[in-house]
Structure 1
Amino acid sequence: MTKKIVHVAVGVIYKDQQLFICKRPDDKHQGGLWEFPGGKVEQGESVFAALQRELLEEVNLTVNGSDELMVIEHDYGDKCVRLDVHIVDNFTGEAHGAEGQQGKWVPINELDYYVFPAANVEIVEKIKQRFK
């Protein structure tokens, strides 16, 4: 039996050498860990359209443009994810946890103080290389 791959659009929201990260609710997969906001890409939806929809729902930002950073496939054992990761630095609005989740702006050089899901470790490394 092949596992279903969950396709996720991920936004690395960037402003003034800081990134906006959110804490996953304790009752969700990888709960209690920090993440870059985003969500599932619906069937027939482009990654950019999913990014726009999810970031508006989750963190109240209107995304005007993004740049692809990387694509990661990760197997957690209980589920596989395909993360389409985009740098989002062209947006309007004030980021906050619009669904009640904790969210905060974090300087890039402090990302190592936060615990991310395993699939996000590569993203953090790539961001640190890109913005150093």
Structure 2
Amino acid sequence: MKVVEVAVGVVIRGHQTFVCLRSNDKHQGGKWEFPGGKVEAGESPEQALFRELQEEIAIEITHTDPLITIAHDYGDKQVKLIVFIVDGFKGEPVGNEGQPGKWLSIDTLDASAFPAANVAIIEALQGYIANK
């Protein structure tokens, strides 16, 4: 089975993170997610992150740090999530492709509202913030 490489941006401001709602017709639809998307052929994960966040939530990244890389098998799909903290950006994040988006407190993120692969991201994010 092909593994889909996905660049994920955990956009943070203070103790909040910006998340988007997956449309119901997508894999894991109806769940909240951190913005990002597939790494295209010939693209680095960082390049994919910059492109995807500009397309999806209309921001231009000015600073990012690697957070965690996760391999997850959903049974019908395998993903490799390359996750970055995005703590510097220009613009105000918005659901640029019609998807709902909102700021949530990092302390109160509910892992059950996210796809299973995101649980480790939430844990890593909470550890990252605690160590700041």
Smaller-chain TM-score range?
over 0.9
Tell me how far apart the structure 2 counterparts of residues 114 and 54 of structure 1 sit (CA, whole Å): 25
8 Å Cα contact 2:68-2:84 kept in structure 1: yes
Moved over 2 A (4+): none
Match of 1:70 among 68, 71, 78: 68
Which residue of structure 1 aligns with residue 42 of structure 2? 44
Root mean square deviation of aligned Cα: 1.0
Match of 1:9 among 4, 7, 10: 7
Tell me how far apart the structure 1 counterparts of residues 64 and 125 of structure 2 sit (CA, whole Å): 14
Percent identity of the aligned residues? 55
Cα displacement (A) at 1:65? 2.4
Matched, 1:35 2:33: yes
8 Å Cα contact 1:56-1:62 kept in structure 2: yes
Which residue of structure 2 aligns with residue 22 of structure 1? 20
Cα displacement (A) at 1:113? 7.1
**Structure 2: 5+ residue stretches without partners:** none
Cα displacement (A) at 1:109? 1.2
Q: TM-score, normalised by structure 2?
A: 0.95
Q: What SS class does the counterpart of residue 29 from structure 2 fall into?
A: coil
Q: What SS class does the counterpart of residue 109 from structure 2 fall into?
A: helix
